[in-house]
Amino acid sequence: MMKHEIQINIQISMQKWNVSGITYNDLGAYGNVIFSRIPLTKVHHLAFEKTKMGRKLVCAEFTLGDSSESFYVGNVHLESLNPNLKYRIEQLKEVWSFFNDTIRDEKKRQHFFLMGDFNQCGTHPYLKTSKSSTKTIDPLPIDKKLWSDSWLVAYQNDLNTNPGYTMPESNFFNAWRPDRILYQFDTKAQLHMDAANNLEWKLQSIERIGMEEMPLTEEEIQAQLSNSDMKVLTPSDHYGVFTTFVLGNEDMVSQDISQNKKSQKTSFGEEEKKPQDASQNKESHAVPFEAEEKKQE
């Protein structure tokens, strides 16, 4: 099993970003990367043993406040196509093993995130994506007692009204939600300065981004519309998922999520209203942490 750890700071578009890797060994021909405004303490690259497509896990570590709590953000692009379900299952097992056996330390305060393109619908986990298929498939091995799906939490499992599809319907596939942000907070862990206020890390809001069409030329538009497989006029064939997590009390966070739920339009593909920003909540004492998962194919 190939593993290596790096930390690289580079300048991109005149803004400083901490990046999980920039070399071919880090990215490969078809890989994934993490950009962070927060300095990274360590980056792990785990090449999956079970893959035909060179898929891997990239995991970045960072700390906040007095560094008493550690955050681990994993980014994956699991094996694609329906026949490769067995590879996706094995790849997730490798992720769980990495988190539990390599990273987890019961003596530390640790919070975990896993985000990316799971290539299996989180809204209808038992169904294949092909329109011509009525067969069911096994769901991915995600322990719901340990891991929370941000979209399901925000909309209280109301997927009939808010399915959260991140890929629109095409000629061959129904609309589906392969892109997810999962999280697992250590509920016993609190920053020292906020322990007296009984504050915990919680999901504040979630939305889809990159749903608007790009300003293309007429020639570019016609080229996309003539594509028989997929007509893409948005920045990517996938929509992005943007979440905000805050250190706050239960009442504050519940109110924010409720407001976020009301603000969403129920028809897939319509423009959504922006959720309330943590900095505008004067009574929250919130420390915002934002996670964005955006994939190009």
Which domains does the chain possess? 8-197 (3.60.10.10)
Answer with the residue of higher pLDDT: 263 or 163.
Answer: 163
C-alpha distance across the termini of the chain, in Å: 26
**pLDDT for residue 31:** 84
The most confident of the ranges 27-31, 86-90, 217-221, 266-270 is: 86-90
**Is the pLDDT assigned to residue 75 strictly greater than 50?**
yes
Confidence of residue 296 (pLDDT cuts 50, 70, 90): very low
Q: Is the pLDDT of residue 193 over 80?
A: no
* Single pTM value for the model: 0.78
Alpha helices, DSSP H, located in 37-194: 85-97, 150-154
Q: H helices of 73-210, where?
A: 85-97, 150-154
Query: Residue 146: pLDDT above 70?
Result: yes
Q: Is the confidence at residue 219, as pLDDT, over 90?
A: no
Amino acid identity of residue 29, one-letter, is: A
**How remote is the C-alpha of 292 from its chain's centroid?**
6
- Mean residue pLDDT of the chain comes to 79
Mean pLDDT for 68-95 is 94
Cβ(16)–Cβ(9) below 8 Å: yes
pLDDT of residue 216: 80
pLDDT at 291: 65
Strand, helix or coil for residue 51: coil
Q: How confident is the model at residue 47 (pLDDT cuts 50, 70, 90)?
A: very high
Query: How far is Cα 90 from Cα 51, in angstroms, rounded to an integer?
Result: 9
Report for 137-151, 237-251, 274-288: range of highest mean pLDDT: 137-151
**Predicted local confidence at residue 229, as pLDDT:** 64
Could you give the CA distance from residue 234 to residue 239 in angstroms, rounded to a whole number?
8
> Any alpha helices (H) in the chain, and if so which ranges?
24-27, 85-97, 150-154, 218-225, 250-263
Residue 68 pLDDT: 82
